[in-house]
Chain A
Amino acid sequence: ETGVTQTPRHLVMGMTNKKSLKCEQHLGHNAMYWYKQSAKKPLELMFVYNFKEQTENNSVPSRFSPECPNSSHLFLHLHTLQPEDSALYLCASSSRDRDLQGYTFGSGTRLTVV
């Protein structure tokens, strides 16, 4: 248990489905992140939330919709995805007022779009 919990661990969805990924952190951090990790590629930052406000959207397609109701919870809502969206989706958190501490990652959701 890393202190950052992601559910589900695995998800298979059709291109017309709607699903949500959930992330919860128990570390008292105030910044949360969504990353996408595809095979043979660096981690791609998708969204950043600081104190539950979105501060960055890295040109992510609108079929990915984040939601951060509070500093401990982060969601990624998915709809009409494409097969190329299949990847490992990682949530991370950090303490924004201690920039040098690095991130703590959740265990990830392995997403397969069919």
Chain B
Amino acid sequence: QKEVEQNSGPLSVPEGAIASLNCTYSDRGSQSFFWYRQYSGKSPELIMSIYSNGDKEDGRFTAQLNKASQYVSLLIRDSQPSDSATYLCASGGNTGKLIFGQGTTLQVKP
């Protein structure tokens, strides 16, 4: 069973801090990795994608991938209350099908 594991949280950080969200995956054949943000009652929204080992930065967001450890993370710098949401990690292989984790709930407190 191919799985993506995330700590469901909630992860609580103060406003302005760095939020660190983590994810592990079981399928070594996974080639692509995604972070989705889902606000309560809304649909998931793609915020980051990463395909190679290392870091990828986009504004306040940094995705990190370590294929040897089968580990993906998302760092959110200068966290804002508007970042409070559930963050879904997903992995994909050459089938085009994504496997999603259960999501981590982030709470950013003013």
Contacts and interface: CB of A to CB of B under 8 A. Distances in A.
Interface stretch (A62-70, A73-81, A102-110): A102-110
Interface residues of B, number: 27
Given A99-B32, A102-B49, A105-B44, A43 B88 contact: yes
A94 interface: yes
Interface of A is mostly: mixed
Contacts, number: 56
A40 to B, nearest CB: 7
Contacts of B59: none
Considering the complex of A and B, which 3 residue pairs feature the smallest CB-CB distances, nearest first?
Answer: A42-B102, A100-B32, A105-B43
Interface of B: 4, 8, 31-32, 34, 36, 41-46, 49, 51, 88, 90, 92-98, 100-103
Interface of A: 2, 31, 40-43, 45, 48, 50, 56, 88, 90, 94, 96, 99-108, 110
